[in-house]
Amino acid sequence: MSRGARKEGLSRRHRFTAQGSFGPALRSPRKARGTRSLVHVLAGRPGVSRLGIALSRRVAPSSVHRNRIKRVVRELFRRHGAKAAGLDLVVAFRDRVDKVSSGELAREISGLLDQALEKAPR
């Protein structure tokens, strides 16, 4: 990375960092379901939103595809950031998503994030 280049990405405070830390969010009754994915919502720390991505080799066998999917989800989370303040969100994938285009995946996840934020506890 060249000097002065800004690092894109989520800071540690906007990610789940401990192993197994998205358990409470996954058990939350508030969720939005799509054809391939699911967004779980849980009230978190005030003012700080966190994102978790549950993506296994079963739904995207290639690491290249898994990383592309994670980049798409993180970008959508950044765009929805202000609306998601104080919430913990976990995006889980249920079906094969490695053959889905980034645009189609972005449309589904964006719609699910909007639905999940409507159901969010405030």
List pLDDT tens digits, range 19-62: 678 788 888 888 899 999 999 888 877 878 888 899 999 999 99
Over residues 65-76, the pLDDT tens digits come to 999 999 999 999
CA within 13 Å, CB half, 55: 23
Give the per-residue pLDDT at 64.
Answer: 95
82: closest CA among 113, 107, 109, 47?
47
Q: Which residues contact 67 (CB under 8 A, 6 or more apart)?
A: none
pLDDT above 60 for 63: yes
Give the per-residue pLDDT at 14.
Answer: 76
**1: pLDDT confidence band, cut at 50, 70 and 90?**
very low
Domains plus CATH for the chain?
A: 29-119 (3.30.230.10)
**118: pLDDT confidence band, cut at 50, 70 and 90?**
confident
Q: Chain-wide mean pLDDT for the chain?
A: 84
Q: Amino acid identity of 1? A: M
Pairing of strands 31-33, 37-43: antiparallel
